[in-house]
Amino acid sequence: MTQVLRGNIVQAPQLGKLDIREHGYLVLEDGAVRGVYDALPEAFASAPLTDYGDRLIMQSFADMHLHAPQYPMLGMGMDLPLLDWLNTYTFRTEARFADPDFARRTYRRLATDLITNGTTRVCMFSSLHTEATWILMEELERAGVTGFVGKVNMDRNGLPGILQETTEQSISETLRWLDGCRFDHIKPIITPRFTPSCTDELMAALGRIARDRGLYIQSHLSENRGEIAWVRELHPDCPQYWESYDKFGLWKDHTVMAHCVYSDARECAAIRRAGVVVAHCAGSNINLCSGISPVREMLRQGIWVTLGSDIAGGAQLPMYKVITMSIRASKIKRMETDWSEDFLTVPEGYYLGTTAGHRYFGGGEGFAVGKLLHAIVVDDGDFPEPVRQLTVRERFERAIYMLHRHNITAVWSDGRLVK
């Protein structure tokens, strides 16, 4: 079926570049983009039209790193460094998800909050609980979210008897979970929590499972100096953190590594060579005093950089807030480098929070022809009255900084209107 959407269309087909169509037309065929036009071609004149008037039609957001079972602890433990925060708050919170009813209530709220805030694609950690992970996938599917979810693996350095598997349990439960994943829009991804949480035997098994089943991988890399030193103690044969994944077959194309705050030139070169994707989580890195990732340098080197909320290290789920936090962090980095490193602009931040992430799931550059629509409609009518009429570009920039969920009046995910 052919559909036409009319409004002020804003897309980011390239890093730093905006394509803006004032009162333009977005034509869909069975939910996939057929074209974006300044004027509606005559061939589509009789197609059903949804006129959004003077509202903005923007790309929806892609959150490339977040921990679903940490949603109940947003804003907690923000005065602690990473490893203390994990042991004091995180592991005990995640242990609660042994209760399927609690998992259902929490994940239904989380899935709804993602959609109402305009996030339609995710790369997400669950807990180590198989049933709760299936529940998470069900609730995301129900709400209209698409993407990847991983059952977390951890067989050491957790909370024995509370939140830690044996090696055999972790492997067998991963296989049982994978065999039970039958979802249309939410797919599994192999998820070793991070190197300190997984024995060599478990890491090797996860590498084999990922290889044999053709699955992607997600984990953490070089987030915190203490974490890096710990990995060095656990793997003295690995000069750098990334090699603790590489030696088990977990370092490969489309592996998502969150943070990369302290990735030096050698580690960045390994990221680029392997086609590893960086999920930059500025809010979490600042909240836990981990540091500020060298995003500009990574982009300069051709590394694939995306953005993640990293709840609950990051205290904000909405990706428009993640984008603005990433811009602020890049400005701090600029000041740290004696103004030699350029900060992220709003169009660049928007690209990283939308197109860069959507590409991971097979999306194209902006509203690419042939790709299922992922979009939001924004009503900025309740923003403070400006002193003059604003351009669409100015309204877009203001929206990135001032959005609230009530301003998002419609959401399209995988070609479906889900809000």
Contact at 8 Å (CB) between 51 and 9? no
Beta strands in 60-208 (DSSP E): 61-67, 119-125, 146-150, 152-153, 186-188, 191-192
Q: How far is CA 166 from CA 31, 35, 60, in A?
A: 45, 52, 40
At 68 the pLDDT is 98
Task: Give the whole-angstrom CA distance, residue 112 versus residue 252.
Answer: 32
Contact by Cβ (8 Å): 28, 87: no
- List the structure tokens of 388: 């003059």
Strands 17-29 and 2-14: antiparallel
Residue 287's pLDDT is 95
- Amino acid at residue number 99: D
Question: What is the band of 21 on the pLDDT scale with cuts at 50, 70, 90?
Answer: very high
For residues 315 and 290, give the distance between their C-alpha atoms in angstroms, rounded to a whole number. 15
The model's confidence at residue 82, banded by pLDDT at 50, 70 and 90, is confident
Q: Is the pLDDT of residue 1 over 90?
A: yes
How high is the pLDDT of residue 295? 97
User: Which pair of structure tokens corresponds to residue 344?
Assistant: 């992220």
Residues 67-72, mean pLDDT to the nearest whole number: 98
DSSP H or E segment with residue 105: helix 100-116
User: What's phi and psi for 122, nearest 5 deg?
Assistant: -140, 155
Return d(Cα 305, Cα 278) in angstroms, integer.
Answer: 5
Token pair 């990995």 in the structure block, residue: 231
| Residue 287 Cα distances to 61, 64, 186, 314, angstroms | 22, 18, 30, 7
d(Cα 14, Cα 250) in Å, to the nearest integer? Answer: 29
Tell me the average pLDDT across 366-392. 98
Class of residue 72 by CB neighbours under 10 A (exposed 0-12, middle 13-18, buried 19+): middle
pLDDT tens-digit profile of 152-172?
A: 999 999 999 999 999 999 999
**pLDDT per residue over 312-364, tens digit each?**
999 999 999 999 999 999 999 999 988 988 999 999 999 999 999 999 999 99
Q: How far apart are CA 113 and CA 63, in angstroms?
A: 13
Tell me which H or E stretch contains 137: helix 130-143
Torsion of CA 237, 241, 243, 246, to 10 degrees: 140
Cα–Cα distance, 23 to 11 (Å, whole number): 14
Please name every residue paired with 119 in a beta bridge, in sequence order, or none if there are none: 61
Buried b (16+ CB within 10 A) or exposed e, 249-260: bbbbebbbbbbb
d(CA 299, CA 324): 18
Tell me the average pLDDT across 196-208: 98
